[in-house]
């Protein structure tokens, strides 16, 4: 997610804005900019690259003034470039924005038909034009114009808006993207994240969804979109700056685990069309309905691909193969026209996945990237891109990018299923409706995962772990084992539960914790039999089970509960306790959770 800062008071605005943006640098960004008002005149500086590039611009052109807004952008719509950097200007208005305007295409078309000219590829620019349009209809408070504009916007936003028609104030608003006000003596600070303002004040107001705020140096007026006043309590932040970067969590990984409901909502946002029982990938359709889908990926992204196979084959009835990119590229693979090759990569830079997808493209396949980083190498190479909107992932062990990839694959499966004619309207409607409930179920599941510390303490000295699952739970068994290995350095294996009796059963004794993913639904009875086999050999069973399952307790020592979901979507929930387990065990062993040894966030070597 991008960073937002804003200031009005007596200090030099650029200095406060740049300090705040520097505090948000750890989140990653690709461009930055500021807009400052002085004597009724607005000046904007923005550029692609690091804050040092913006500082160099500021050294050439000083921006005097005590009111301004600033932004660090992490691209979602439109590549990283000077033109796409925020603030975006329309007439007397400038806007910085975090989030996604779902209906930006329709709004852009309407505004263009009304004579507006756009100078960026961003979704944000429509907000600037909408506010400009509202102001052009006749004099009114800036906050009224912002409310009129936002009433037309579908999606998520944290926005800050300045206008040189209103030299003493700026307006912010929030919907599903964080925003916090810092209230000082005769000055007000705004930021998307608390670390940006802790240097100046610890008295803050966390805004709620739907809040719009008119801000002057000596006055903060909070209201809803209809202009009705709202009172929000001030809080005093006691976190250190380092804690604040992690929103109070001890590690980025834990923060990112808890961000997953938001990441999944953002990935689904605007792509599910319940009115037509369809899903869209973006502005462009795939050139044809594929005869076959081939998924290429590494590590955690490969596990997402394995779930993707279930999604695509069940909904589209199109054969789907999943390959490790590092194997595919050296195998003289049979791939070509008629195939859709999907490269999944959170970083978009993984050398093996990049080489594999280039190989497939060279042989005539249509290629689609599922990436989290806009304009990354894999996104650029592929014919089409489906971006996950998980926001920057800082913990090396991937969590929120994984569940966002699962959400993107579900969108792809519905899209291809509809076009193949194999996904009936009623089935599409049911899947879309279930998907829309997933973020709330993820939140409930995470809230229910108490007692992880005690569970971790029991197994802190285990030498090995076994993870078992069937169907869509099998890739999650692989992912659970990978997460544990990566951050706790305990050896772990993931296995298809039905394969246990073909070998791994020899390992089972009272020293081996066995994590069995056993949600209610397809394959459940068979997994219970596997559980019984483990119990009969004194293995210590930790079950991942559906809330309300009364039978499971008899088969296991510990239970990690998840909410109910259909088989195809269960991975979005069943992976959560496994991420939490890996995290808790790693913390109990004193590992460096966010920077595990020997691992890198982006693997750009073969
Ligand atoms: C595990 C993890 C790695 C990556 C793998 C591929 O937590 O993060 O296994 O999934 O290196 O990376 P991307 O998705 O960037 O291609």
Task: Please report the atom of ligand 1 found closest to the CA of residue 303.
Answer: 10
34-49: average pLDDT: 95
Q: What is the pLDDT of residues 585-605, one digit of tens each?
A: 999 999 999 988 887 776 766
How many CA atoms lie within 13 Å of 38's alpha carbon, on the beta-carbon side?
A: 14
CA of 286 to the centre of ligand 1 (A): 26
Q: Is 347 in the pocket of ligand 1 (CB under 6 A)?
A: yes
How is residue 176 annotated by DSSP? Answer: B
Three-class SS state of 2? coil
CA separation for the pair 350, 601 (Å, rounded): 10
pLDDT value at residue 284: 77
**Mutational test site, ligand 1, from 301, 397, 575, max ligand atoms within 8 Å of CB:** 301
341-370: average pLDDT: 96
Mean pLDDT, the chain, whole residue set: 94
Q: Is 301 in the pocket of ligand 1 (CB under 6 A)?
A: yes
> Which ranges of 466-570 does DSSP label H, i.e. alpha helix?
473-488, 524-536
Look up tokens 């600070």; give the residue. 189
Residues 6+ apart with CB under 8 A from 342: 293, 294, 295, 296, 305, 308, 367, 368, 369, 370, 412
pLDDT value at residue 291: 96
Q: What is the pTM of this model?
A: 0.84
Q: Is the pLDDT of residue 262 over 80?
A: yes
Q: Is 300 in the pocket of ligand 1 (CB under 6 A)?
A: yes
Q: Is 326 in the pocket of ligand 1 (CB under 6 A)?
A: no
How is residue 312 annotated by DSSP? Answer: H
Long-range Cβ contacts of 140-147 (<8 Å, 24+ apart) = 141/166, 141/214, 142/166, 142/169, 142/170, 142/171, 142/214, 143/171, 143/212, 143/213, 143/214, 143/221, 143/223, 143/227, 144/227, 146/171, 146/173, 146/212, 147/173, 147/212, 147/223, 147/225, 147/226, 147/227
Highest mean pLDDT among 2-6, 155-159, 361-365: 361-365
Q: What is the pLDDT of residues 558-588, one digit of tens each?
A: 999 999 999 999 999 999 999 999 999 999 9
**Mutational test site, ligand 1, from 28, 251, 299, max ligand atoms within 8 Å of CB:** 299
Q: Is 351 in the pocket of ligand 1 (CB under 6 A)?
A: no
List phi, psi (to 5°) of 282: 170, -150
CA of 300 to the centre of ligand 1 (A): 5
Protein residue with least CA distance to atom 11, ligand 1: 299
Two structure tokens written together for 447: 């809230």
CA separation for the pair 356, 597 (Å, rounded): 27
Percent of the chain with pLDDT over 90: 82
Instruction: State the maximum Cα–Cα separation within the chain, in Å, rounded to a whole number.
Output: 80
pLDDT value at residue 115: 95
CA separation for the pair 220, 268 (Å, rounded): 34
CA of 326 to the centre of ligand 1 (A): 13
- Residue 542 burial (CB count, 10 A): 24
CA of 345 to the centre of ligand 1 (A): 7
Protein residue with least CA distance to atom 3, ligand 1: 299
Residue 2 known to be catalytic: yes
Q: Is 486 in the pocket of ligand 1 (CB under 6 A)?
A: yes
252-257: average pLDDT: 96
CA separation for the pair 263, 193 (Å, rounded): 17
Q: Is 353 in the pocket of ligand 1 (CB under 6 A)?
A: yes
Q: Is the pLDDT of residue 32 over 80?
A: yes
Catalytic residue among 2, 371, 401, 556: 2
Q: Is 43 in the pocket of ligand 1 (CB under 6 A)?
A: no
User: Which string of b and e fits 573-600 if b means at least 16 CB within 10 Å?
Assistant: bbbbbbbbbbbbbbbbbebebbbbeeee
CA of 426 to the centre of ligand 1 (A): 35
Q: Is 596 in the pocket of ligand 1 (CB under 6 A)?
A: no
Two structure tokens written together for 337: 């026209």
**Mutational test site, ligand 1, from 342, 346, 485, max ligand atoms within 8 Å of CB:** 346
Protein residue with least CA distance to atom 12, ligand 1: 345
Three-class SS state of 500? helix
- Residue 82 burial (CB count, 10 A): 13
Residues 6+ apart with CB under 8 A from 439: 261, 262, 264, 265, 268
Two structure tokens written together for 166: 């209103």
Q: Is 397 in the pocket of ligand 1 (CB under 6 A)?
A: yes
Q: What is the pLDDT of residues 159-194, one digit of tens each?
A: 999 999 999 999 999 998 889 999 999 999 999 988
Catalytic residue among 50, 140, 522, 601: 601
Task: Please report the atom of ligand 1 found closest to the CA of residue 601.
Answer: 8
CA of 367 to the centre of ligand 1 (A): 20
CA separation for the pair 293, 315 (Å, rounded): 13
Protein residue with least CA distance to atom 14, ligand 1: 345
Q: Is 299 in the pocket of ligand 1 (CB under 6 A)?
A: yes
Residue 147 known to be catalytic: no
CA of 486 to the centre of ligand 1 (A): 11
Nearest C-alpha neighbor of 302 from the set 320, 325, 281, 335: 325
CA separation for the pair 307, 357 (Å, rounded): 19
Residues 6+ apart with CB under 8 A from 146: 131, 134, 159, 161, 171, 173, 212
Its sign, for the CA torsion 76, 79, 80, 83, is negative
Protein residue with least CA distance to atom 9, ligand 1: 299
Percent of the chain with pLDDT over 70: 99
Protein residue with least CA distance to atom 8, ligand 1: 398
Q: Is the pLDDT of residue 2 over 90?
A: no
Q: Is the pLDDT of residue 290 over 80?
A: yes
Task: Please report the atom of ligand 1 found closest to the CA of residue 397.
Answer: 7
15-35: average pLDDT: 91
CA of 249 to the centre of ligand 1 (A): 23
Two structure tokens written together for 16: 């406060």
Beta bridge partners of 223: 212, 229
Q: Is 473 in the pocket of ligand 1 (CB under 6 A)?
A: no
- Residue 558 burial (CB count, 10 A): 18
Q: Is 350 in the pocket of ligand 1 (CB under 6 A)?
A: yes
Q: Is the Cβ–Cβ distance between 466 and 564 less than 8 Å?
A: no
CA of 35 to the centre of ligand 1 (A): 37
CA separation for the pair 372, 422 (Å, rounded): 29
pLDDT value at residue 604: 64
Nearest C-alpha neighbor of 273 from the set 405, 390, 436: 436
Two structure tokens written together for 205: 């107001």
387-398: average pLDDT: 90
Q: Is the Cβ–Cβ distance between 325 and 350 less than 8 Å?
A: yes
How is residue 59 annotated by DSSP? Answer: H
pLDDT value at residue 605: 66
Task: Please report the atom of ligand 1 found closest to the CA of residue 602.
Answer: 15
Weakest mean pLDDT among 96-110, 230-244, 338-352, 518-532: 230-244
Q: Is 346 in the pocket of ligand 1 (CB under 6 A)?
A: yes
514-541: average pLDDT: 91
Cα dihedral angle (204, 208, 210, 215), rounded to 10 degrees? 0
CA separation for the pair 316, 262 (Å, rounded): 27
Q: Is 388 in the pocket of ligand 1 (CB under 6 A)?
A: no
Q: What is the pLDDT of residues 79-133, one digit of tens each?
A: 889 999 999 999 999 999 999 899 999 999 999 999 999 999 999 999 999 999 9
CA of 44 to the centre of ligand 1 (A): 38
426-453: average pLDDT: 97
């Amino acid at each position: 997610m991008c960073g937002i800062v804003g200031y009005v008071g007596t200090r030099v605005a650029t200095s406060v804005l740049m300090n705040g943006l520097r505090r948000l640098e750890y989140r990653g960004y690709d461009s930055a900019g500021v807009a400052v008002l002085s004597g009724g005149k607005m000046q904007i500086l923005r550029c692609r690259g690091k804050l040092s590039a913006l500082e160099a611009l500021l050294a050439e052109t000083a921006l005097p003034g005590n009111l301004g807004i600033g932004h660090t952008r992490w691209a979602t719509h439109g590549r990283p470039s000077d033109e796409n950097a925020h603030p975006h200007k329309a007439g007397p208005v400038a806007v910085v924005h975090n989030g996604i305007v779902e209906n930006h295409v329709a709004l852009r078309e309407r505004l263009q038909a009304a004579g507006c000219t756009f100078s960026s590829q961003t979704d944000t620019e429509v907000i600037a034009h909408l506010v400009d349009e509202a102001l052009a209809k006749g004099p009114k408070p800036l906050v009224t114009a912002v409310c009129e504009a936002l009433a037309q916007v579908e999606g998520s936003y944290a926005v800050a808006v300045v206008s040189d028609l209103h030299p003493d104030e700026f307006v912010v608003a929030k919907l599903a993207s964080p925003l916090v006000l810092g209230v000082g003596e005769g000055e007000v600070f705004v930021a998307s994240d608390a670390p940006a303002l802790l240097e100046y004040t610890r008295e803050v107001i966390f805004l709620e969804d739907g809040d719009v705020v008119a801000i002057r140096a000596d006055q903060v007026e909070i209201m809803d979109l209809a202009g009705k006043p709202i009172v929000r309590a001030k809080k005093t932040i006691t976190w250190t700056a380092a804690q604040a970067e992690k929103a109070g969590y001890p590690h980025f990984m834990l923060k990112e685990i808890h961000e997953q409901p938001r990441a999944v909502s953002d990935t689904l946002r605007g792509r599910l069309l319940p009115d037509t029982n369809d899903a869209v990938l973006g502005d462009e359709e795939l050139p044809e309905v594929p005869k076959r889908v081939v998924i290429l990926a590494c590590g955690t992204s490969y596990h997402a691909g394995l779930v993707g196979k279930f999604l695509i084959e069940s909904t589209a009835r199109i054969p789907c193969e999943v390959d490790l990119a590092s194997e595919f590229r050296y195998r003289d693979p049979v791939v070509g026209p008629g195939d859709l090759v999907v490269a999944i990569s959170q970083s978009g830079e993984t050398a093996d996945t990049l080489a594999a997808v280039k190989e497939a493209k060279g042989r005539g396949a249509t290629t689609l990237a599922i990436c989290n980083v806009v304009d990354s190498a894999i996104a650029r190479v592929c014919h089409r891109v489906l971006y996950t909107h998980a926001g920057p992932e800082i913990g090396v062990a991937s969590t929120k990018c994984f569940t966002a990839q699962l959400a993107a694959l579900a969108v792809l499966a519905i899209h291809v299923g509809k076009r193949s004619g194999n996904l009936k309207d009623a089935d599409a409607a049911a899947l879309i409706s279930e998907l829309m409930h997933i973020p709330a179920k993820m939140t409930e599941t995470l809230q229910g995962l108490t007692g992880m510390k005690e569970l971790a303490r029991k197994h802190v000295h285990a030498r090995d772990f076994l993870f078992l699952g069937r169907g869509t739970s099998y890739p999650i068994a692989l992912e659970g084992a990978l997460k544990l290995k990566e951050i706790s350095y305990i050896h772990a294996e993931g296995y298809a539960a039905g394969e246990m009796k073909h070998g791994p059963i020899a390992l089972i004794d009272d020293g081996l914790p066995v994590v069995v993913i056993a949600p209610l639904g397809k394959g459940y009875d068979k997994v219970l039999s596997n559980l019984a086999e483990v119990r009969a050999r004194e293995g210590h069973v930790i079950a991942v089970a559906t809330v309300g399952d009364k039978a499971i307790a008899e088969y296991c020592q510990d239970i990690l509960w998840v909410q109910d979901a259909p088989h195809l979507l269960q991975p979005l929930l069943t992976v959560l306790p496994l991420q939490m387990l890996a995290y808790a065990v790693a913390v109990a062993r004193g590992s460096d959770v966010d920077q595990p040894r020997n691992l890198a966030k982006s693997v750009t070597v073969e």
